[in-house]
């Protein structure tokens, strides 16, 4: 069983409690939990692509970290960003690669 998501409540609970509840309970509690239809790893890849294409870097960083937790490897993250660079923008890749390097730093080849 996946860990219960609390980011909505942690970051927006006081300001927007209904939005926070929808984020934690519906988006992550129900949609992300539908692993028979699509694995969490695949959902992470799709979400990374969507956030990358929109240039939403704070959320992208969080979902790169989540993607790593869902089994996306450093090499796969590099391939995802390389692929997306051609469809969504070269500067976005330049902005994303440092995040990949930081998040997968412990996975770097010595």
Q: What is the pLDDT of residues 58-94, one digit of tens each?
A: 999 999 999 999 999 999 999 999 999 999 999 999 9
Provide the pLDDT for residue 63: 97
Task: Kindly state whether residue 2 falls inside one of the protein's structural domains.
Answer: no
Q: Say whether both 87 and 110 belong to one domain.
A: yes
15 vs 63: CA distance, rounded Å = 22
Q: Say whether both 53 and 99 belong to one domain.
A: yes
| Tens-digit pLDDT profile for residues 16-69 | 999 999 999 999 999 999 999 999 999 999 999 999 999 999 999 999 999 999
Task: Kindly state whether residue 1 falls inside one of the protein's structural domains.
Answer: no
Is residue 109 over pLDDT 60?
no
Of 36, 89, 34, 37, which is closest to residue 60 (Cα–Cα)? 89
Is residue 97 over pLDDT 60?
yes
Task: Kindly state whether residue 104 falls inside one of the protein's structural domains.
Answer: yes
Of 65, 27, 67, 60, which is closest to residue 45 (Cα–Cα)? 67
Q: Say whether both 32 and 42 belong to one domain.
A: no
Residue count of the chain: 110
Structural contact between residues 41 and 73, judged by C-beta atoms closer than 8 angstroms: no
Q: Say whether both 66 and 108 belong to one domain.
A: yes
Provide the pLDDT for residue 110: 42
80 vs 34: CA distance, rounded Å = 23
Q: Say whether both 58 and 93 belong to one domain.
A: yes
Task: Give just the sign of the alpha carbon dihedral 5, 30, 2, 69.
Answer: negative
Provide the pLDDT for residue 107: 72
Indicate which CATH number applies to the domain containing 58.
Answer: 1.20.1290.10
Q: Say whether both 45 and 32 belong to one domain.
A: no
Q: Which domain holds residue 31?
A: 7-37
Is residue 108 over pLDDT 70?
no
Considering the entire predicted model, what is its pTM? 0.89
Residue of higher predicted confidence among 4 and 83: 83
């Amino acid at each position: 069983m996946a860990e219960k998501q609390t980011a909505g409540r942690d970051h927006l609970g006081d300001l927007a409690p209904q939005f926070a509840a929808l984020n934690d309970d519906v988006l992550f509690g129900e949609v992300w939990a539908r692993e028979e239809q699509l694995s969490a790893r695949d959902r992470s890849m799709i979400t990374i692509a969507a956030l990358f294409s929109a240039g939403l870097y704070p959320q992208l960083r969080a979902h790169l970290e989540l993607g790593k937790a869902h089994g996306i490897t450093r090499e796969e993250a590099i391939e995802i960003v390389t692929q997306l660079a051609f469809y969504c923008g070269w500067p976005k890749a330049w902005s994303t690669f440092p995040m990949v390097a930081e998040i997968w730093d412990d996975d770097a080849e010595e």
